[in-house]
Amino acid sequence: MTGKFNLFFRVLKKRPDFMLGYIIVFLIIIIAIFAPLFAPFDPIKSDAKNYLKAPQWPYLMGTDATGMDVFSRVLYAPRVDLAIALLGTLLSAVLGVILGAIAGFYDGSGKVAGFGSAFIMRSADVVQAFPVFVFAIAVVAVLGQSIQSLVMAIAFVNAPIYLRLMRSQCLSIRRMRYVEAAYLAGTSDIKIILAHVIPNSIAPLLAQLSVNIGWAILLTSALSFIGAGVEAPTPEWGSMISMGFQNIVTGHWWPSIFPGLALAVTVLGFALVGSSIEILADPVRTRKLLLS
Amino acid sequence: MKRLYLFLGKRLIFVIPQLFGITLVSFLFLQLIPGDPAVLMAGPFATPSVLENLRAELGLDKSLFEQFLIYISNVLRGDLGNSWQTTRPVAEDLLQRFPATLELIVLSLLLALAIGIPLGRAGARLKKGVTRRTADYYGLFAGALPDFWLGLVFIYIFYTVLTIVPAPLGRIDFFIIPPPSVTGSLLIDSIIDLNFAAFKNAVGHLILPVVTLGLINAGPILKMTQATMERMLDEDFSKYGALCGLPEKVIARKAFRNSLPSVITIVSVLFGFLIGGAVLVEIVFSWGGAGQYAVNGVLNADFNPVLGFVLVSAVFSLVIYLIVDLLYFYIDPRTT
C-alpha cells in the first residue's frame, strides 16, 4: 500500500494541476458539508429592500432580483448539486456494472443467458440512440419533477457507459488463464465475477466515476436551468443562473456569473481528479509521465 | 462498387431494428406519462360518457399491442399528433424549427473543427512549449464550462457592455423582413433571395451562439485529434518514415490522415449530442429551435411535441451515424 501511495505522490509532484483538482474537490465537499457555518445569510430568505445590489460588503457576490444573497446561495448549492450527481452516478455505476458483468460473462454463450446478454446490449444501443439531454428530460417528464427523478435521469443516461466498460473488461478477463483454472476447479460464475472480474475492473471504473460526477453536475444544473430540475428558491447553480438570466442584459451580471463560475471550477476539479486516476490506473502511462 | 452495396445493405438491415426500438421506447414513454390523455383533453368537468367516447375515438380502449400498431402506422404516415400549445400538427412545427437548430449546430461544429484540429495536430507534434500546454488544458477547460453560462457571459460582454452584436432574441431582428423559406437556413435563403440586409442581420445573430457552442465543442475534437495522432506518430509506419529521412511535416500529414476515422467519430457523436444539447444555448439566445420546442412541451405537459422531437432527433442521429459509416468506408479501405 505504501508503494501505491508513493506512486500517487510522485505523480502529483509531476503534475501539480492534478493536486489542484484534489484541492478543489476537497474544498467543495467541505463547503457543502459546512455551508451553514460559512454562509453569512439565509440562502432562501429574500430581502425586498436590497435587490440586485452589486457585489459589496456584506453581499460579497451581490444580491439577486428577489434580494437573496448570491454568495450564501453559491455556498449552499453544492449540497444539492453534489448530492444529486453523486447518487445518480453511483446508481448508474451499480446498474451498469451488474448488467455489464452479465452481458460480458455470458456473451456468445448459448441458452437463455446468451440471449439475455444480447438483449442487454441491444437495449443499451436503443438508450444511446436517443440524444442524451432529451432522454434525461423525458425521464424527468415521466417521473415528475423532483430530486429523485433527477437522480434517476442521471443513472439511466450514464448506465450504458459503465455497462460497456464492464462488458469489455469482462470479455478480456474471462479469457485469462487463472479464470479458466478457477472455472475448471468448479468455482461458480457469481464467485468468478465477484472475486476476479470486479476487482480487476476497479481502476478504470474509478476513473470513469470521477469524470462522470463532473458531467452529472453539469447535467443537473443544465436540467435545472431549463426548469426541469431543482426548482427555485432551492439554492442550486443551474437554477440560479436561470434566475439571473433576465438581469444580464440590463447589466446586472452577478446573479448568473458567480454560480456559473463555481459550477465550472467544481467540474474542472472532478475532471482533473478523473484524469489523474486514469493515468494511475494505466501503468504504461504512469511510467511515461514519471520518466518525462 | 459491389463492396459498397454489400456494406450499405448490411448497414441498412441494422437500422430497421434500431428504428423499431426507438419507436417502442417513445411509445412506452407515452404510456408511462402519468395522467389519462382523455381527461387531459376533455378537461376535469367532462362526464363519464364523454370520456368513454373520447377514449374510443383515441383508441385507448384497445389493447396495448393494438395501440402500438396504431402509433407506428401514424408515425409512418408522418402524423406525430398535435401540440395543444401551438394547436398545430407537431410534424409541421418540427419541420419549421429543425432547420434553425441544424443551422446552429452545423456552423458551430465547423468552428469547433477549425479550432480543434489545428490545435490537436500541433499538440501531438510538439512535446513542449506554449502551444502544447494550450492544447493540453483547452480540452479540460472546455469540458468544464457550462455552455449556457458561457453564452450569458458573451451576451454580457458583447451585447450589454460593448453593444456590438444585435439583441440575443432569435435568429433575425423583427424589423428585418426574413427571406422566403426555401431550405429553412436563414443564411442560404437570404443568399437565394439576394437579400443582403437579412443576411448581415442573420450573421450578427448567429455569431454569439455559434462561438459559444464552437469553443466548447472544440474541446473533445481537440482531445481526440491529439490522442489519436500521438498514437499514430508512435506507430511503426511513422518511425519507418523518420528512419527513411522523410521530413517531419510529411510524417505528420500521414499520421493525421490515419487519425481521420476517430475525428469523424467524435464529430458524429457531438452532432448527435447537440441535436438535443443545443437546447440550452437556444434558450439563452431565444433561438426558437426544435430543442426549445420540446423543452416547452415538457414544462407544459404538452407531450406530443416531446415525443415527436425525441423520435425525429433519434432518427436524425441514426442517419448521421449511417453517413459516418459511409465516410469510414471511403477513408479506410479495410472497412467491410
A134 and B276 within 8 Å at the Cβ level: the answer is yes
B160 shares contact with chain A (CB less than 8 Å):
yes
pLDDT band with cut points at 50, 70 and 90 for residue A249: confident
Q: Which of B32, B273, B299 sits opposite A132 (nearest CB)?
A: B273
| CB-based contacts of B211, cutoff 8 Å, min separation 6 | B111, B154
Q: In A175-253, which residue ranges form alpha helices assigned H by DSSP?
A: 177-184, 189-192, 198-225, 237-248
**Residue B83, beta-bridge partner list:** B88
Judged by CB atoms within 8 Å, which residues 33-72 of B form the interface with A?
33-34
Contacts of A221 in chain B (CB under 8 A): 146
One digit per residue, pLDDT tens: chain B, 336 residues?
677 788 788 777 877 887 788 788 877 877 777 666 666 666 677 778 887 887 777 677 777 788 888 888 888 888 888 887 788 898 888 888 888 899 999 999 999 999 999 999 999 888 888 888 888 889 888 988 999 999 999 999 999 899 888 888 888 887 777 788 778 788 888 888 888 888 888 888 999 999 999 999 999 999 999 989 988 998 899 999 999 999 989 999 999 998 888 898 899 889 888 887 888 999 899 888 888 888 888 777 777 888 888 888 878 878 888 888 888 888 877 765
Q: What is the ipTM of this complex?
A: 0.86
A137 and B294 within 8 Å at the Cβ level: the answer is yes
B276 and A131 within 8 Å at the Cβ level: the answer is yes
CA distance B189 to chain A (A): 28
Cell 434558450, residue located: B283
Mean pLDDT value of segment A275-279: 86
A257 shares contact with chain B (CB less than 8 Å):
yes
Q: Which of A129, A214, A248 sits opposite B22 (nearest CB)?
A: A129
Residue A108's H or E segment, with its range, is none
Q: In A15-69, which residue ranges form alpha helices assigned H by DSSP?
A: 16-33, 35-38
Q: Which of A122, A144, A256 sits opposite B34 (nearest CB)?
A: A144
Share of chain A above pLDDT 90, in %: 27
Buried b (16+ CB within 10 A) or exposed e, A146-175: ebebbbbbbbbbbbbbbbbbbbebbeebbe
Helix axis angle for A132-143 and B303-331, nearest 10°, is 160
Q: What pTM was computed for the model?
A: 0.86
* Of A261, A258, A255, the residue nearest A50 (C-alpha): A255
SS (H, E, C) A159-172: HHHHHHHHHHHHHH
Q: In this predicted model, what pLDDT tens digit does every residue of A77-134 receive, in sequence order?
A: 999 999 999 999 999 999 999 898 888 888 777 677 778 888 888 788 777 777 778 7
* Mutation site for A-interface testing, chosen from B18, B128, B141, B152 by largest number of A Cβ within 10 Å: B152
B156 and A253 within 8 Å at the Cβ level: the answer is yes
Please give the domain boundaries of chain B with CATH numbers for all domains.
20-76 (no CATH), 99-290+312-331 (1.10.3720)
CA distance B107 to chain A (A): 19
Contacts of A245 in chain B (CB under 8 A): 152, 284
Q: Which of B161, B298, B317 sits opposite A129 (nearest CB)?
A: B317
Residue of A nearest to B292 (CA): A226
A20 shares contact with chain B (CB less than 8 Å):
no
- Cis previous bond, A58, omega within 30: yes
